[in-house]
Structure 1
Amino acid sequence: MENFDLEDPLKSLEEHQSDTVPALFSSESDHMPSHNYLHCLKTSDSHVSFRQEAISLILQAQYSCNLDPYTQYLAINYMDRFISWQGIPQGNLWVVRLLVIACISLAVKMKEIHFSFSDFQVKQREERFIFDPPAIQRMELLVLDALNWRMRSITPFSFITFYVSLFELKDPPLSQALKDRATNIIFQARNEISLLEFKPSITAASALLLACHELFPLQFPSFETSILSCEYVNKEMVLKCFDAMQEMVNNEVSESMVDVVTSSSTRTPISVLDCHCNKSESESTINSTAAATVTPENREIKRRKLNGFCRESNMMNISQIQPCE
């Protein structure tokens, strides 16, 4: 299988390049969460908590196992789509971990990346839930079924090159700088629930406009005209998404400034030294405690092998599912 590229999801599937762009716009809705998903997240704390925990685990996998950010974005896409159609299991902490592992597994297979699930689970230091390959494979089948086997996800990255071509930038480094900043904004937006309502093409257009507004303010009016006049673009939705993204970025900048000011005003040479000493003492205590309590016997008692997950059926118990209504 050819390595899947989020920037060109229809690669090798389209014979003619001229057909690719219309196909992207016409198919993107098939790779989004259901329409009720945003409502569920806005009205149900359990949905928000489940999603936050899942994203946190996916990001941990990215940093601890050196996954590229596109792979984690793809895994989050699978997770959002699965929850939106299948609902969230209630009362089982291990299910969120198994779902995350299954989504990561599918993403790394699409990207043809080596990933050791045993290493990841060990690095998590979560010894209550250790999943064997058959359990992971059964969860993968549940995800594949919920997504109708549409794994070549169309994401905002799929539209970046097309939109940049509308700007007609002559300098390749400028085009690359614009792409890089827009990509960072898209990654930043993955946690924003309010941005889930927008199609990938809208998210991409808004991220590029915001990047242009930051990097090339004098050229922003012409860039905005180029995108908003595109036949595939909904002008009102792009402007709405642009405002939401701009607010997101401004809030993050403000929070960062507050953190810097607070840190600068409270950190003195003595406080830094105290912090370093306390940290060393704390690490020493933790290490000694861990050495005293984590024995092979305790480790085996705490470890739960979920070998029997969905052994009798590939479907979850319907009583465990909270659907989006």
Structure 2
Amino acid sequence: MEFDLEDPLSCFKEQQAYTITELFASESDHMPAPNYLNSTHFRASFRCEAISLILQVQFSCNLDPSVAYLAINYLHRFMSRQEIPMEKPWLLKLVVISCLSLASKMKNTPLSISDIQIEGCIFESQTVGKMELLILGALEWRMRSITPFPFLHFFISSTELKDPSLKQVLKEQATKIIFNAHNDIKLLEYKPSTIAASALISASRELCPQQYTMLRASIAACENLDEDSLTKCIDLMQEMVMWTEANESTIDTSFLSTETPVSVLERSIKRRRI
């Protein structure tokens, strides 16, 4: 059964035996370890390169964005618990391939090891399999990641919106924002529910500004959200959205047709003021 990012705790779509309370209670188990960004395990350059490689495979193999998103979730959680020696850059590439392989299996997406080999490193299936087991162990076999996506419907339902079409457009825009947000290091410290709430609030500011205040108040009233964290996350999210809109038309995509891998993330970071 394919893993659904919007339905992480249920093995069968028709059998949702869990509640939103369980999602809130479990979401921290699917985040990087506490203080990840400040730990010796965190290497900004490694993370940048790893995400760039994942996005390159997404583009070259035409993968669904959810596969790349899930792979990046596995990557962050693994890197927060297992140090990758900087003198072994090939090991990072092995981790990337293994995270992509695991994500594709969870999403039931056909993807062979040969499809995701990275230039300069050719790994045998047995080698990738061993790394997958190491990743599974570090993640305590919690592969049905709780991401921001299952919280979107809950937060939309908590508002006073009546128009189904507006609800759908809000959800789609928030989903787009969330997919873009996995490139932002600063958002790693926030819980999936906080990211979901912030994405919806940011989307509402753009799509229905007259109802922005009402929507923000309705979502912020959720007792499971920390008001201070939500405010900070919204500010970061809106900064990211404005930067994306300002640079969307100027991003160079010529690298997609070149033979030399070029870092999508590095291109973004160079253009962005941190």
Pairwise TM-score range, normalised by the shorter structure: 0.7 to 0.9
Q: 1:199 aligns with which of 191, 196, 221?
A: 191
Question: Aligned AA for 2:11?
Answer: S
SS in 2 for 1:129: coil
Larger Rg: 1
Cα distance, 1:104 vs structure 2: 0.6
Q: Aligned equivalents of 1:229 and 1:21: distance in 2?
A: 15
Q: Aligned equivalents of 1:145 and 1:17: distance in 2?
A: 27
Quickly say closer, same or farther: Cα 1:17–1:137, change in 2 above 3 A: closer
Quickly say closer, same or farther: Cα 1:116–1:13, change in 2 above 3 A: closer
Is it true that 1:232 corresponds to 2:197 in the alignment?
no
Aligned pairs for 1:50-69 within 5 A: 50-69=46-65
Cα distance, 1:248 vs structure 2: 1.7
Q: 1:109 aligns with which of 83, 105, 108?
A: 105
> What TM-score results when the alignment is normalised by the length of structure 2?
0.86
Q: Aligned equivalents of 1:12 and 1:254: distance in 2?
A: 40
Q: Which string of whole-angstrom CA distances, capped at 9 and with x for unpartnered residues, describes residues 3-51 of structure 1?
A: 11011101238998584200000000000001121214xx89x701101
Q: Which string of whole-angstrom CA distances, capped at 9 and with x for unpartnered residues, describes residues 269-307 of structure 1?
A: xxxxxxxxxxxxxx9xx9xxxxxxxxxxxxxxxxxxxxx
Cα distance, 1:143 vs structure 2: 0.3
Aligned pairs for 1:1-325 within 5 A: 2-12=1-11, 17=16, 19-40=18-39, 47-121=43-117, 124=118, 126=119, 128-256=120-248, 259=250
Q: Aligned equivalents of 2:223 and 2:17: distance in 1?
A: 15
| Equivalences, count | 254
Contact 1:6–1:153 (Cα < 8 Å) also in 2 = yes
Quickly say closer, same or farther: Cα 1:18–1:92, change in 2 above 3 A: closer
Cα distance, 1:163 vs structure 2: 0.8
Quickly say closer, same or farther: Cα 1:81–1:104, change in 2 above 3 A: same
Question: Aligned AA for 2:80?
Answer: S
Q: Which string of whole-angstrom CA distances, capped at 9 and with x for unpartnered residues, describes residues 148-206 of structure 1?
A: 11000000112111111112432222111101111111111111111111000000000
Q: Aligned equivalents of 1:18 and 1:211: distance in 2?
A: 30
Q: Aligned equivalents of 1:75 and 1:94: distance in 2?
A: 18
**In proportion to residue count, which structure has more helix?**
1
Contact 2:24–2:193 (Cα < 8 Å) also in 1 = yes
Cα distance, 1:98 vs structure 2: 0.6
SS in 1 for 2:19: helix
Quickly say closer, same or farther: Cα 1:225–1:112, change in 2 above 3 A: same
Question: Aligned AA for 1:9?
Answer: P
Q: Aligned equivalents of 1:37 and 1:178: distance in 2?
A: 31
Structure 2: state its 5+ residue gaps: 253-257, 260-274
Q: Aligned equivalents of 2:159 and 2:115: distance in 1?
A: 45
> What TM-score results when the alignment is normalised by the length of structure 1?
0.73
Contact 1:75–1:104 (Cα < 8 Å) also in 2 = yes
Q: Aligned equivalents of 1:255 and 1:134: distance in 2?
A: 42
Alignment RMSD, CA only? 2.4
Question: Aligned AA for 1:96?
Answer: L
SS in 1 for 2:206: helix
Question: Aligned AA for 2:82?
Answer: Q
Q: Aligned equivalents of 1:133 and 1:93: distance in 2?
A: 19
Cα distance, 1:232 vs structure 2: 1.5
Aligned to 1:295: none
Aligned to 1:297: none
Q: Identity of paired residues, percent? A: 53
Q: Aligned equivalents of 2:142 and 2:234: distance in 1?
A: 28
Q: Aligned equivalents of 2:232 and 2:180: distance in 1?
A: 17
Q: Aligned equivalents of 1:236 and 1:225: distance in 2?
A: 14
Structure 1: state its 5+ residue gaps: 264-282, 287-325
Q: Aligned equivalents of 1:255 and 1:71: distance in 2?
A: 25
**Larger relative contact order, structure 1 or 2 (CA cutoff 8 Å, min sep 6):** 1
Contact 1:10–1:20 (Cα < 8 Å) also in 2 = no
SS in 2 for 1:89: coil
